[in-house]
Structure 1
Amino acid sequence: MRGMEGKLTSPTVLREVLSRHGVRLRPELGQHFLADGNILERIVELTEAGGDETAVEVGAGAGTLTVALAPRVRELVAVEVDRRLISVLEETTAAHPNVRVLPGDFRGFPLSSLGERILLVGNLPYGITSDVLVKLIREREAVERAVVMVQREVGEKLVAPPGPEASRLGVHLRAYFDAEVVRKVPRTVFFPPPAVDSALIRLRKLPVPHVTAPEPAFERALSLIFSGRRKTLRRALLGQLSAAEADRILAEARLDGRVRGEALPLEAVDRLAHTLDPGGTR
């Protein structure tokens, strides 16, 4: 189907296309398609796509974002786990030979197999948001930047400063990426509307990470810190270490065991990680 740019933001058109392919949306897969041309235009603008790059879309759905972004990139890999939507995508993207429709679960594809310096985009299904972002962190060598839609509460926690609103995923992400909430998105702009509002997040990989500890040690430190949200740092460490070991680590990392773990700035988490892995390279 040619000339789909903009039309797929119409609930009427979306309903007709899906009906023609015999597709009924499955809420358990987080299938809520963007139906607002202004926000779609803003997403494309935020990608800063320059033409000579590969974009990977997580959960391409019916192709709303796909057909809007395709003219801006050299190649667009549209990943979709629901095989019923593959024929829909093949129809809606037919006018864009640079689009490669890839059936399957995004979490199962190594990012390095999809391209280099990838631009990652997508309206992330809420149920797999954490999995996608952790994958992005761990396979960041293949990624340049990302623009993704997430649940509003999740987005706010991703960028929250140290304190009661901080999240393990947010601290993990900001160790390697600059993260910002660029727009809050009401549930009413989706078809069908989800139960909660969303947020548009822009991520840029840092030239140099904010942490220097080896990744396993840094992730272990995060696990310890966030194992008990309302516990002091010392009590959290005592969940996995002896009192003597916990006190030694706190002293070497120059940390006050009376503070709560979520209140630690990144540099303090990095010091804790180095102390947990004294053989690591600084």
Structure 2
Amino acid sequence: MKLAPFEFGGAIVVITGAASGMAEQVARDLWALGSTLFLIDRDSEGLAVLAQQLGSSPGQKLHTITADLASDDGVPTILEQVRARTSSVDLLVNVAGVAIGGSFSDLTEQEFDWVMRVNFAAPVALCRGLLPLLRKPGGHIANVSSVYGLIAPPGHVAYVSSKFALRGFSEVLRAELAGSGVTVTTIFPGGVRTKIAANARVAAAIPADAVAAARETYARNLTYPVQSAARDIVRAIRHRRPRLLIAFSAKLPDVVARLLPVSNLRVLARLRPTRTRNAAAVLRADD
């Protein structure tokens, strides 16, 4: 089934992680394009500030939902509030994500599960819960994976596992929904200039001085403007692209991983400064 480009004007859109980063900018762009928004985040103050800045617009509605995707009642709260306010949804954008730096031996079971719950289980549950509400034909789902859903560097075991899982789920879902009238985009951001370094968590076993130095170095390598990333996302959704690589820092690893599925990390390491490699081994954060 060949579908027309996605129309944002009048669309009902659900966005997770909307209080900051790429999700916040996507929300701003879609509001400007005339969408009705359900904005979800655990940061109630951030949501309130964003809602105030967006203001009101004729024919549009803005809903904020405070929910922690790591909690047992996070997804049920979202689904309950969305269903109470609308009988249909046009677009689901799963952006919210968390991470913790550390190797498998560094992390506790609880730390690992926390990342998997927010980054993988919650998007899957939201897709399951909202899929019956997605308009057919024309509905769309966009799931944000990561460059670490393309390559698997050591020191990021929980984050990498969650983003590879979300990538696989999204690609299978796209294939299973082919012909149904609902399309899926999987998004792989590279070094987007957000607060991910500042928000990073690390395993307790990693020394504090190493963490501080890694934050500073890692932050300097986040160079792609968040406004540009949001525009890329909106464009990919509009054209219902199956896959979006954001920034050269995602495009290069994608090519290298395809050409060198075994030795890609060794090749990529040669292309990055030593300080950046050391920082990346300590940190990976949520958007």
TM-score tier (shorter)? 0.3 to 0.5
TM-score (norm 1): 0.42
Relative contact order higher in (CA < 8 Å, ≥ 6 apart): 2
* Higher Rg: 1
